[in-house]
Each structure stands twice: as C-alpha cells, then as structure tokens.
C-alpha cells in the first residue's frame, strides 16, 4: 500500500566522541525514507532551498522512493542543524539551528499522492502537520512524531492533531511532559485519552513500549549495540521501518504493530552504527531480517 512521508531535509553537522561529520545529509524525511524503502514504495514530500548540495535522486538510487513531492525553492535556503553528543549519547545538544525553508509554507502534496493510505508526519509545528494531513483524502493509518518544543509552546494545536491521527511516536521524556505523568504506563494511558489509537514510546537504549486504546501493550528491548557512533536520525529510521512494514502488509492491527516496532528497532540499530546515512544506507533487507531473527531469540524465554 502507498506510504507518504512529510519531513525535513537538512544539512547537518554532528559531533560525537567518535568524530565530526560536517555538512552531511540529514533530516527526518531522509532517514525515514531510507529505512521505509526496505519494505514499501515511499512517496516523499519535503522542501529544500537552492543551496542544497545533495542530489537526492542519487541518494535514493536503486530504492523505491518517489521524489515528485520534493520542492526546490530558488529564493530560499535549506534547513541546517548542528549538534553534539557526549557520554552515553542518549540526547543531542543543539548548537545551532537555521530553520530557513522550515519556517515557510509547507509543501504541496502532489495530486498523485492524495490517495496515500499510510502517512507519517515527521516532527514539525503541529499546525503544519495538520495542513499536510488535510491534503490527504482518506488515510488508513497516520503516525506523527513531535518534540518537547511543540508540547511546551503549541499544546492546543498538538492536542487538536492527536484527535485526528492513529499513532503518536515520541520519546519517554516527551511522553511524560505531554501527559504530565512520571510513570510511563500512566503517561501512555493519558495520551491515549487524547484521541490516538496507539502510542509508541521510545526509550533509547532501553527499548520501547507500545500501548493501544484496546488495552493491549507490548514492550521490547533495544538491540544490544556495541557500536554507537551517531544517534542522529535513529528515531526516524525506527519510524520508517515501522511504517514501511505496516504498509507492506497493508495492516495496522496490534500483532502487525508488534512486528513493525521490532523492525523499527533493528533499523535504528543500523542507523546509529555510523555517521549520517552510512549506517542505514549500508544495510539491506536481508540484514534487517537476520537481525530481527536474532532479536527474537534474545527476547524469548
């Protein structure tokens, strides 16, 4: 089934204890699409300025990523982000941000994309996420990412969005902030009461928890990675593999969600193994499948 993503395309500079990657390709739509394309065709929407140094057609060569929704704005500049990680690298410290095109109008969804059945709206202003969603006819399953900034400053818009979507994917700190609950299970239940059908709470190296309005829950540890060079984009790779799998089986029931989250987990484990797209870009579907089977063995008892 058809899978659409709307998100950022960025020029990133990332510093970790393992080195520096300057002016590399990043952005939520990029990481998501790379991971999702292992499973299903991706309809890509996003905006860059005329200063964008990357050839996205070359980046996604050999992958089923349709770039008809990519806008190049000649009078604008591409989103830029600089950040660093220290210690356990669980969280990035943002050192510089230039929103540029992300502060402008969102992209127009091409007419051929309006019948998309599975939709991922990556982290941005929830009012913009609603504008994108309004351009899709009747999606079967819509998932959204958000962050603490929008929870603090655009809470009403975010709550309005949550009432219109199926799934929220956020990290544990954001879940606690949004729900105003310290306990993650209580936080998940409070967020489900806001209108979503499913919430996926990412806990970094501690794995993830999935809760559904039906009362079903699923907890999965992270892949025990021994090589963590750059966590940037891991959450978007997680979402990409998750939504890509759901689109490939054309289902979003709880059993399918459990497998989708497991694929998200192993996709993220490849992403963090190297800078920018080198980790996830060097993987294959066969490698993801093999690691999924290993994850199953690790979690059986």
* pLDDT tens readout for residues 242-298: 999 999 999 999 999 999 999 999 999 999 999 999 999 999 999 999 999 999 999
Q: pTM for the whole thing?
A: 0.96
Please report the sign of the dihedral spanned by the C-alpha atoms of residue 231, residue 232, residue 234, residue 235.
Answer: positive
Q: What is the pLDDT, as a whole number, of residue 88?
A: 82
Q: What is the pLDDT, as a whole number, of residue 45?
A: 97
Domains and CATH numbers, the chain: 3-299 (3.40.1190.20)
How does pLDDT run along the chain (301 residues), one tens digit per residue? 799 999 999 999 999 999 999 999 999 999 999 999 999 999 999 999 999 999 999 999 999 999 999 999 999 999 999 999 998 888 889 999 999 999 999 999 999 999 999 999 999 899 999 999 999 999 999 999 999 989 999 999 999 999 999 999 999 999 999 999 999 999 999 999 999 999 999 999 899 999 999 999 999 999 999 889 999 999 999 999 999 999 999 999 999 999 999 999 999 999 999 999 999 999 999 999 999 999 999 999 8
The conformational region for residue 27 under phi > 0 = left, psi -120 to 50 = alpha, else beta, is left
Rounded distance between C-alpha atoms, residue 165 and residue 246, angstroms: 16
pLDDT in tens, 80-89: 999 999 988 8
Q: What is the pLDDT, as a whole number, of residue 257?
A: 98
Rounded distance between C-alpha atoms, residue 51 and residue 77, angstroms: 6
């Amino acid at each position: 089934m058809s899978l659409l993503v709307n998100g950022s395309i960025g020029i990133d500079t990332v510093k970790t204890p393992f080195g520096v990657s300057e002016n590399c390709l990043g952005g939520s739509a990029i990481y998501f699409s790379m991971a999702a394309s292992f499973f299903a065709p991706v309809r890509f929407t996003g905006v860059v300025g005329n200063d964008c140094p990357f050839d996205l057609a070359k980046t996604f060569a050999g992958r089923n990523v349709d770039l008809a929704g990519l806008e190049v704005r000649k009078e604008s500049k591409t989103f830029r982000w600089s950040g660093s990680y220290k210690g356990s690298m669980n969280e990035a410290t943002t050192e510089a941000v230039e929103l540029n095109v992300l502060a402008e109008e969102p992209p127009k969804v091409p007419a051929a994309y309006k019948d998309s059945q599975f939709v991922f709206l990556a982290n941005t202003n929830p009012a913009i996420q609603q504008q994108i969603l309004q351009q899709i006819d009747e999606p079967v399953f819509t998932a959204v990412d958000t962050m603490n900034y929008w929870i603090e400053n655009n809470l009403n818009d975010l709550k309005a969005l949550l009432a219109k979507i199926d799934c929220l994917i956020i990290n544990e700190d954001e879940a606690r902030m949004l729900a105003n609950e310290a306990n993650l299970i209580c936080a998940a239940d409070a967020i489900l009461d806001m209108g979503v059908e499913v919430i996926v709470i990412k806990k970094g190296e501690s794995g993830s928890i999935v809760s559904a309005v039906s009362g079903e829950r699923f907890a999965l540890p992270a892949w025990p990675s021994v090589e963590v060079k750059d966590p940037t984009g891991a959450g978007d790779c997680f979402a990409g593999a998750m939504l890509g799998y759901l689109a490939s089986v054309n289902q979003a029931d709880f059993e399918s969600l459990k497998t989708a989250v497991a694929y998200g987990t192993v996709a993220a484990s490849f992403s963090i193994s190297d800078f920018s797209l080198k980790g996830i870009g060097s993987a294959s579907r066969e490698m993801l499948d093999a690691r999924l089977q290993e994850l199953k063995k690790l979690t059986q008892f």
